[in-house]
Amino acid sequence: MGLSASPAAPGAAAAAAFTILSQLCGAAFLYVLLKADGSWQVMGLLALLGVGFFLLERFPGIGEFITASLTRVPLVTAATAAIIVLGFPFVVGSNTYILHLLIVAQLYAVLALALNFQLGSANIPNFATGASYGIGAYVSALLALNFGMSFWLTLPIAALAATLFGFIIGIPSMRTRDTYLALVTIAFGVVVQQLLNNFDWTGGPNGLVGIPAPSLFGHSFASPLQVFGWKLPSQANFYYLAAALVVVAVVTAQRLHGSRIGLAWNALRADEIAAKAQGINVAWYKVLAFAVDAFLAAFAGTIYAFYVSYISPDNFTFLVSVTIMTMVIVGGMDNIFGVIVGAFLLTILPEKLRAFSDYRLLFFGVVVIGFLMIRPQGLFPQRLRQYGVHR
């Protein structure tokens, strides 16, 4: 196993060039996929993607070379990514549908990263992420509608409320495991959705309408965004907001993964009894995973509520939780980049394959079963931690 630095490790200049090129290729693929019209074009792109992963599987050297290049010049990697993310709306132009897809994909990326703390790092099958997402959305919407609170104020409050909810599901879940744990979280998810549906003060099945658009320094997010003479549709505001949240989620994930907390989660994923014998308070770390998941999911929920300005219990069903779980499994458990790719693919593909929209649930089911059978580690498998590479 070539785990040490491969002999073909690129030099700094080559790595930088390769880093920029590979990220541009990725962005171009995303752009073409978003622009694709009709099932055949999408199928063709999927086939292309399939060939790419087949090559990665056959020649693991390619993947190692790419990751080696990206980690060799982290600043170039980050800068290229930033430019691509900032520039994408300009390339997309006035196509609001594509912007909408990108916003939803980014929110799902945050949700998938949130669930990844549990499913990926700690192997806790949590089917209540959709409920935490809904609690975030409802708490912030209610605060804005009833008390006129600004978006920026509701954001942390909603996150704290959802975290509390995370603790509440986490505590009974400590006593159960595996299948039973999954059942407990399914029950919680359904209960939350039913409550939202039946309470008067949540608007019942009609939901909450007319959530005001946030504003920043006098600029309303409902109005178009003017940058250096360029005029971007109002969706661009939320695109950048969602992108900022993705950055927060990625940084959170990286910092926790690289600390002893990420290691403790990985330990209890691998062997709970052995983890206990290392002095890890297994119950506490499980509850912690629930809380972190709920915290991030609530952020996504708040942005969603203010973006669409209308939420109902139907937005936060069990199916949403299943979708998020599928994204983590497809993307690659415990791989931050993989989870984001999974979220984007599974947001965009069902939209593009509208012809099969009646079979969406079937589609997710087939995808999950297929992946668990053929590639259980996901598109991008988890990687071993590397220490002192730049020593």
Note the residues at the interface with another protein (CB under 8 A). Answer: 1, 3-4, 252, 255-256, 258-261, 263-264, 266-267, 270-271, 273-282, 288, 292, 382, 384-388
Q: Which is nearer to another protein, 253 or 345 (CB)?
A: 253
Give me the least distance between CB of 64 and another protein, in Å please: 14
Q: What is the 3-state secondary structure (H, E, C) of 308-361?
A: HCEECHHHHCHHHHHHHHHHHHHHCCCCHHHHHHHHHHHHHHHHHCHHHHHHHH
Least distance (Å) between residue 4 CB and another protein: 7
Q: Which is nearer to another protein, 243 or 264 (CB)?
A: 264
Positive or negative torsion for Cα 260, 262, 267, 268: positive
C-alpha span between 317 and 323 (Å, rounded): 10
Longest distance between any two alpha carbons in the chain, whole Å: 66
CB of 296 to another protein, least distance (A): 11
Query: In the structure encoding, which two tokens stand for residue 273, read together?
Result: 């009894």
Q: Which is nearer to another protein, 30 or 329 (CB)?
A: 329
Q: Which is nearer to another protein, 33 or 300 (CB)?
A: 300
Q: How is residue 387 written in tokens?
A: 């220490």
Q: Which is nearer to another protein, 12 or 270 (CB)?
A: 270
**How far apart are CB 29 and another protein at their closest, in Å?**
30
Least distance in Å: CB of 359 to another protein? 35
Tokens (6 digits) for 234: 């109002």
* Closest approach of another protein to the CB of residue 264, in Å: 6
Pick 3 or 13: Cβ nearer another protein: 3
Angle at 384 between CA 382 and CA 386, to 5 degrees: 135
Least CB distance from residue 285 to another protein, whole Å? 10
Amino acid identity of residue 352, one-letter, is K
CA distances from 7 to 55, 290, 351 (A): 20, 42, 43
DSSP state of 208: E
Give the residue with the Cβ less far from another protein, 365 or 376.
376
Whole-number Å distance between alpha carbons of 139 and 155: 9
The rounded distance, in Å, linking the Cα atoms of 237 and 182 is 37
